[in-house]
Amino acid sequence: MSFKKSLSENIAVHKKILGLEQPVEKAINKVHEALSTGNKIMMCGNGGSAADAQHLAAEFLIRLRPNVNRVPYPVISLAQDTSTLTACGNDIGFKKIFSRTLEALAKKGDILIVISTSGNSENIIDVVKKAKSKKIFTIGLLGSSGGKVKKNLDLNIIVPSKITARIQECHIFLGHHIFESVENLLIKKKK
């Protein structure tokens, strides 16, 4: 595929997500509310989506923008510890790699954000079910039709594309936008 065609696809899908303003605003408000009341955000995904979860968690723990120095916010990637992931995968099963950690760390008032291009991964479906049992609000950054997990989530933000790369490009934009907006609200509240 040519550079021009790839970029054109990227721009076209980004234009389509303009219609997601309402669920994105709801996500901003829910994440802000959770962090304002001393709760935490947990994130997970597989493959590139795991990397996106780690990327976004790091920016909230450390710093999102170089000119904004503020306290760290409790945002955790459930895929950042290889010892836990491999022990769980080996001893309990890959389906439980996120739900096992969530079960140990999560409490009511926390939020789980899952990132999945298909919405059909067993470990994503399992962690969402575990979160629901613990009364944790769940948000999905999904792609295509949202997959099987869509029906179990409290809030779906679905990128309308079937192309994995285009979905992931939109997910990282959406994650940055949501977290930057939350950061602005948290900083404003402190003043």
- CATH number of the domain within which 62 lies: 3.40.50.10490
pLDDT tier at 191, thresholds 50, 70, 90: low
Residue 190: per-residue pLDDT: 67
- Domain residues for the domain of 149 are 3-190
pLDDT above 80 (res 161)? yes
Cα 70–Cα 112–Cα 153 angle in degrees, nearest 5: 140
Each residue's pLDDT tens digit, 72-110: 999 999 988 899 999 999 999 999 999 999 999 999 999
Residue 81: per-residue pLDDT: 86
What's the domain count of the chain? 1
Residue 129: per-residue pLDDT: 98
Q: Side by side, which strands form the sheet with 75-77?
A: 75-77, 41-45, 111-116, 137-143, 155-159
- Residue with more model confidence, 111 or 70: 111
Average pLDDT of every residue of the chain: 95
* Average pLDDT of the residues in 43-72: 93
Residue in the structure block whose two tokens are 């950690």: 101
- Give the count of alpha carbons within 13 A of 162, CB side only: 0
Structure tokens at 84: 């836990």
Helix/strand/coil (H/E/C) assignment for every residue in the chain: CCHHHHHHHHHHHHHHHHHHHHHHHHHHHHHHHHHHCCCCEEEEECCHHHHHHHHHHHHHHCCCCCCCCCCCCCEEECCCCHHHHHHHHHHCCHHHCCHHHHHHHCCCCCEEEEEECCCCCHHHHHHHHHHHHCCCEEEEEEECCCCHHHHHCCEEEEECCCCHHHHHHHHHHHHHHHHHHHHHHHHHHHC
- Of the candidates 54, 61, 3, 9, the one whose C-alpha atom is nearest the C-alpha of residue 35 is 61
